Structure 1
Amino acid sequence: MAEHRVPAPVIPEGEKAKGPASYFPSIEKTYGRPIQEWLDLVADRLDSEPHMAVVAWLKDEHGLGHGHANAIVAYAKAILAK
């Protein structure tokens, strides 16, 4: 398996995700793609674009709602900042 720059969180069974990751199950259900795909796309764009530009791209090009797009970008930025 390829290594991801921003790996999707692993939530232990019986626990609830917190922060931006709490949106991830809904994002997968609503848009039909695994969260890892979204994180991979966003991580690449964050190399050269600011947060809100990436949010706008997710909304305009992929039809994500603002909250979902912002959650993905915020999570990716936090992981990349470590």
Structure 2
Amino acid sequence: MTTPPPVKGPASYFPSIEKTYGKPVAHWFGVLETVKDLKHMEQVAFLKNEHKLGHGHANALVAYLRAKNG
């Protein structure tokens, strides 16, 4: 039996995001879909200003989603 490798990159923030804000990351991805035409840092600012996420958490969500969507 092998242990899975630790999660790295933006996804490593997901457990903390879910615990801190009480919503699954899928919720935040849905929120980001409403502002998908904004630039990276504009999306981060939106999460920070409108939803009171911390900078690191907001940036991790944006970075992950943008990398996933290409």
Considering the TM-score relative to the shorter chain, is it more than 0.5?
yes
User: Matches of 2:33 and 2:60 in 1, distance apart?
Assistant: 13
Q: Is residue 43–residue 76 contact of structure 1 (8 Å, CA) maintained in 2?
A: no
TM-score by length of 1: 0.76
Which structure: greater helix fraction? 2
Of the three residues 14, 18, 25, the one matched with 1:24 is 14
Of the three residues 51, 58, 63, the one matched with 1:74 is 63
Among all aligned residue pairs of Structure 1 and Structure 2, give the percentage whose two residues are the same amino acid. Answer: 54
Q: CA RMSD in A?
A: 1.4
5+ residue gaps, structure 2, are: none
User: Matches of 1:54 and 1:16 in 2, distance apart?
Assistant: 27
TM-score by length of 2: 0.88
5+ residue gaps, structure 1, are: 1-12
Where 1:17 maps in the other structure, the secondary structure is coil
Q: Is residue 27–residue 35 contact of structure 1 (8 Å, CA) maintained in 2?
A: yes
- The answer for the alignment partner of 1:51 in structure 2 is 40
Larger radius of gyration: 2
Ranges of 4+ aligned residues in structure 1 off by more than 2 Å: 13-16
